[in-house]
Amino acid sequence: MDLTPLSPEPEGRPLFIGSLPFQDHGEALEELLKRCPESPSWIQLPSNPREGFLVQFTEGLPGFRRDPRPLVLNQGEEFQEELLRFYEAYLEVVEAKRPVEESLFQSTPEAVPGLYKLLELLEAMGPVKFVKGQISGPLTILLALQDSSGRLAYYDERVRDAAVRLLAMRARWQTRKLVAAGGKAIVFVDEPALGHVGSSVFIGVELERALRDLEEILLGIEDEGGWPGIHVCANADWGTILGVRGLRVLSFDAFSYFERFSLFKEEILGFLERGGIIAWGIVPTDSHKLDTSTVEDLAELWIHQAGFFFSEGLQAKDLLARSFITPSCGLGSLDKERALRAMDLTASLSQLLRGKFLCPH
């Protein structure tokens, strides 16, 4: 098996999904940099209401309101006026009449303080190997927001189209900021709702349409010089997802869902051969499983899982070179002590595997 050359290679470095249960971005970033100085992420703190999954990237979406709860008011003249202003702003950027950095598509320091804090530190630190960002996916956002009639906002074509364009532009803006900071920029689209497409929970949601929307965002990240990623911490149709144009990094919950993932061996090998990267979410974020896991147990688990893909041209060192080691999901829902334990396990597991397969003594 011939793997497309990558520069740089992940080489089993630790990577974090995004959220932490801290109150202060400086403290959170300090703890993260202790454990992954070569591959930092910017951090979301869910304790801040403005950094919630549904609101952090939806500034500027026509009809969007945060109070008293997040929703989309998609009826009446005011919505039509907001929709018109939105597309006027969108066309200004698309037609190069206004830079995205000066448009409504930039994320403000109030919305993404963790990103601005990381950029500030990187300016002082100098370039790193990798720098990771993230953005909420349109499917997951719109399947959690109601509209004026109490329906899910996803089913309004006008809202859905605007949301995809908004997030695609916002992902472009973020990628530019991270690329300028130095190191290889990776931007994950967090789309856990992909795990529920096709179920009775969301009737009328088509996987093909959801993936076309994702492609627009991923290709924008790629166009700006970043590596586009998808994070799904649930079961999903991995075979179809792996075929999405632009996808470079797939992040999945290897601790809980590897058996399902392994059903798509042929598609996974093809993805790796094309230059794809796997972020193995092998450190659990379930409190009980986290409390009882050890680095040695998790290393044994990764070696067992990785062995499923071995062939004459793909051994442990080759697969680890194309992998990041991550928690299975964000750590924002844990208490602080357990979040730090998950971070320690991730960093220690990365060190153990890299020492065993990439830098043997």
Write the DSSP assignment of 165-216 as a string of letters: HHHHHHHHHHHHHHHHHSSEEEEEEE-GGGGGTTSTTSTT--HHHHHHHHHH
Quick one: what percent of the chain has pLDDT higher than 90? 86
Domain that holds residue 319: 25-357
Is 16 within a domain?
Answer: no
Is 12 within a domain?
Answer: no
DSSP state of 110: T
Amino acid 197: pLDDT: 84
Each residue of 306-348: pLDDT tens digit? 999 998 778 999 999 999 999 999 999 999 999 999 999 999 9
Please state the φ and ψ torsions of residue 195, each to the nearest 5 degrees.
-70, -10
Provide the total of helices (H) and of strands (E) in the chain, helices listed first.
13, 8
Amino acid 200: pLDDT: 64
Please state the φ and ψ torsions of residue 16, each to the nearest 5 degrees.
-115, 150
Helix (H) or strand (E) holding 328: none
Each residue of 124-144: pLDDT tens digit? 888 899 999 999 999 999 999
Is 303 within a domain?
Answer: yes
Amino acid 201: pLDDT: 67
Is 10 within a domain?
Answer: no
Pairing of strands 130-136, 184-190: parallel
Amino acid 94: pLDDT: 95
Each residue of 199-250: pLDDT tens digit? 666 778 888 999 999 999 999 999 999 999 999 988 899 999 999 999 999 9
Q: Which token pair is 292?
A: 């009882």
Q: How far apart are CA 123 and CA 186, in angstroms?
A: 18
Mutual angle of helices 25-35 and 113-125, in 10-degree steps: 50
Residue 148 pLDDT grade (very low, low, confident, very high; cuts 50, 70, 90): very high
Total domain count, the chain: 1
Is 209 within a domain?
Answer: yes
Is 174 within a domain?
Answer: yes
Task: Look up the CATH number of the domain holding residue 64.
Answer: 3.20.20.210
Per the CB < 8 A criterion, the answer to whether 41 and 28 are in contact is: no
Each residue of 33-70: pLDDT tens digit? 999 999 999 999 999 989 999 999 999 999 999 988 99
Q: Which residue has the higher pLDDT, 11 or 313?
A: 11
Amino acid 234: pLDDT: 86
Is 206 within a domain?
Answer: yes
Is 6 within a domain?
Answer: no
**pLDDT exceeds 90 at position 21:** yes
> Average pLDDT over the chain, rounded to whole?
94
Amino acid 205: pLDDT: 87
Q: At 251, is the secondary structure helix, strand, or coil?
A: strand
